[in-house]
Each structure stands twice: as structure tokens, then as C-alpha cells.
Structure 1
Amino acid sequence: MTIRKELLDILTCPQCRRMLQHREEKSGLICPACKLFYEIRDDIPIMLIDQALPLDDQKKHPRTNH
């Protein structure tokens, strides 16, 4: 899934408000500062802190698309 650059340019981490990095191979967005992974489901970034995965957990147990 490719996210449009215009969208990526305005999305920030809801926790720290820093820029996110797109990880197409994992279908999600990463906040390097918070070390959180925000999943993209059905082409929609899930930008909820309580649904974000810590990067360590995401590497061990990546979610599948719903």
C-alpha cells in the first residue's frame, strides 16, 4: 500500500506530534521518537495511540490486514 506524499507530509504522531515514517512492507507508519507502529487498514492509517504497537512487539508479531 502506497500512501500519498501529501498525506504523509501532514500526518504526525498523535503522542509526540513528530513526523512519521512510512513502512510499505509492513503496511503502516512508524514514529521513531515514540517507537510506535500505526497500522494502515483498508488504506486508512489508524492513528489511535491505544491501538499503536510498540516497535519491538510489531517486529515479533506483525498484524495482518483486516
Structure 2
Amino acid sequence: MVFDKKLLEIIACPNCKGKLDYQLELSELWCRGERLGFPVKDGIPVLLEPKARTLELEEVE
């Protein structure tokens, strides 16, 4: 299943309410402000901080 990019217009980071960027090759939504990568499973964003990974500094630059 493919992630619907139209969702990016209405969803936000659950922590800071900032913009999320979709990373197709990793199937993740990135919040650069919080340095979190939220997984997208079967086309559904999992916007739970315990399920997110911390992004490396090189990834957010």
C-alpha cells in the first residue's frame, strides 16, 4: 500500500505540531525540528513517539 501524500497537508508532528516530510525510500515521516522519524506501515502513519526513531544529525541537515 502506498502512502497518500495528500495527508501531509493535514497531519503534523504530534510533539511540536510542525511540518512532516515523507521519506519514500525509508517509508518514514520526518520531523526535522524534533529529529524524529515516524514509520509508515501499510500506508498508515504511526505518529506515536515511542514508535519513532531519533534522526541522526546528518539526516536533518
TM-score class, shorter: 0.7 to 0.9
TM-score scaled by structure 2?
A: 0.82
Q: Which runs of 5+ in 2 are unaligned?
A: none
> Quick check: 1:15 aligned with 2:15?
yes
Aligned to 1:40: 40
Task: Count residues with an aligned counterpart.
Answer: 57
> Quick check: 1:26 aligned with 2:18?
no
Q: Deviation above 6 Å: which 4+ runs of structure 1?
A: none
Judging by fraction of residues, say which structure has more helix. Answer: 1
CA-based RMSD of the aligned residues comes to: 1.6
TM-score scaled by structure 1?
A: 0.76
State the structure with bigger RCO (CA 8 A, min sep 6), 1 or 2. Answer: 2
